[in-house]
Amino acid sequence: MEQVVNLCKRRGFIFPSAEIYGGFRSTYDYGPLGVLLLRNVKDAWWRSMVQLRDDVVGIDAAILSTPRIWEASGHLANFTDPLVDCKSCHERWRADKIDGKCPACGSSDLTEARAFNLMFKTHAGPVEDAGAVAYLRPETAQGMFVNFANVLRTTRKKPPFGIAQVGKSFRNEITPQNFVFRTREFEQMEMEYFVPPPEADRWFEYWCEARFAWYRDLGIPEGDLRLRHHDQSELSHYSKATADVEFRFPWGFDELEGIANRTDFDLGAHSSASGERLEYFDQATGERYVPHVIEPAAGATRTMMAFLISAYAEDEVAGERRSLLRLDARLAPYKVAVLPLSKNEALVPLAREVLALLQPLTMCDFDVTQAIGRRYRRQDEIGTPFCVTVDFDSLEDRSVTVRERDTTAQVRVPIEGLREHMRERLGLC
């Protein structure tokens, strides 16, 4: 964990936010590499959930919205964690995450737990009166429910179909912790899948399997993943069944994603509160019904951290220790690094030619400083699957050396066929 956190800061994945002012309450900024990795995680999710299907469409809903949404969804009343104060040192804790004692000073003299609402409250417009109260969304899901009728009308989809969204959510967590695992500002990737009620159990099983497979296919070893079904006592008030995809974090198995059978709770609640009919009318059968919802809800920032932890490795190459990120090529920030062997006047222009050839295909890095061995190490450490080296022979034979990150195996490839070669090795269509 410490090695990954250090690597993130040293190489520019994730910086503590507002560091020059001493930081700000467990918020983080994504640096030049982090923004690429996080985008690749979200793109991989979007590709699998939206692009490769004809039954799911996307939306991007507002972050700020009316309290009426949160009243109907139950968040105003129920989106709380149990808060306790330590009477000795006055630290505050989430009661269900501590063992009856204050983790800071060890005292067991704690207040009774009280419900603390996790939503961030603000005011929309220049007047701070009750009518202007707004909340930052604590989940993206409600955007899909309130747009259900809009999407149905404009896309002419019929159940089973889904609405997907990726975006920021905000929760005033009592104790943010474990780097970006739990933060107050984070990103989610959620999909609401609307189904005819008799099909709900089947689709719940389907999405549990599909979502588990997504993490495995992107390189997390199966042994570090598990699907944990909630027992009855754990279920939220709206849920008929819930299962979490969990990853083996350094502190033990913990949640990456929750898959829930939310029944008709959300559409029903928004229907009653808004007075709009949120149902599906099947013209073929003349049947009218409120679809049930299966929701796979994942965290993009939390998942990115799991991919980093899972990819981190150390090994030895020709007697020298190195650390590397064995990231799947689809997730790696840079897919290819183009490296002229030296700063030589003739080599750099040819290397730039190679860079220009590959840039339209994929995200490339270009690095001319330091000895070539050190530049390879640097690319290994940030997870770049391939380095393309332009050397003096390249000037004669118009070929380059392609080096693979995990094995360090090298092959010589003519520049003319390089784009095709890289396309194939990166698995790009």
Binding site for ligand ATP (CB under 6 A): 139, 171, 173, 182-183, 186, 188, 255-258, 297-299, 301-302
Q: What's the token pair of residue 143? A: 């955007």
CB-nearer residue toward ligand ATP: 60 or 109: 60
In the complex, what is the shortest distance from the CB of residue 72 to ligand ATP, in angstroms, rounded to a whole number? 17
d(CA 24, CA 302): 19
CB-nearer residue toward ligand ATP: 183 or 379: 183
CB-nearer residue toward ligand ATP: 183 or 394: 183
The residue nearest ligand ATP at its CB is 299
HEC letters along 34-88: HHHHHHHHHHHHHHHHHHCCCCEEECCCCCEECHHHHHHHCHHHHCEEEEEEECC
| Amino acid of residue 241 | A
Q: Is the distance from CB of 357 to CB of 328 less than 8 angstroms?
A: no
CB-nearer residue toward ligand ATP: 203 or 249: 249
CB-nearer residue toward ligand ATP: 162 or 258: 258
CB-nearer residue toward ligand ATP: 185 or 365: 185
In the complex, what is the shortest distance from the CB of residue 81 to ligand ATP, in angstroms, rounded to a whole number? 8
In the complex, what is the shortest distance from the CB of residue 403 to ligand ATP, in angstroms, rounded to a whole number? 35
In the complex, what is the shortest distance from the CB of residue 34 to ligand ATP, in angstroms, rounded to a whole number? 15
In the complex, what is the shortest distance from the CB of residue 222 to ligand ATP, in angstroms, rounded to a whole number? 19
In the complex, what is the shortest distance from the CB of residue 255 to ligand ATP, in angstroms, rounded to a whole number? 5
CB-nearer residue toward ligand ATP: 153 or 237: 237
In the complex, what is the shortest distance from the CB of residue 151 to ligand ATP, in angstroms, rounded to a whole number? 21
In the complex, what is the shortest distance from the CB of residue 254 to ligand ATP, in angstroms, rounded to a whole number? 8
CB-nearer residue toward ligand ATP: 145 or 376: 145
In the complex, what is the shortest distance from the CB of residue 266 to ligand ATP, in angstroms, rounded to a whole number? 13
CB-nearer residue toward ligand ATP: 186 or 207: 186
CB-nearer residue toward ligand ATP: 304 or 325: 304
HEC letters along the chain: CHHHHHHHHHHCCEEECCHHHCCCCCCEEECHHHHHHHHHHHHHHHHHHHHCCCCEEECCCCCEECHHHHHHHCHHHHCEEEEEEECCCCCEEEHHHCCCCCCCCCCCCECCCEEEECCCEEECCCCCCHHHEEEECCCCHHHHHHCHHHHHHHHCCCCCEEEEEEEEEECCCCCCECCCCECCEEEEEEEEEEECHHHHHHHHHHHHHHHHHHHHHCCCCHHHEEEEECCHHHCCCCCCEEEEEEEEECCEEEEEEEEEEEECHHHHHHHHHHCCCCCEEECCCCEEECCEEEEEEEEHHHHHHHHHHHHEEEEEECCEEEEEECCCCCCCCCCEEEEECCCCCCHHHHHHHHHHHHCCCCCEEECCCCCHHHHHHHHHHCCCCEEEEECHHHHHHCEEEEEECCCCCEEEEEHHHHHHHHHHHCCCC
In the complex, what is the shortest distance from the CB of residue 235 to ligand ATP, in angstroms, rounded to a whole number? 12
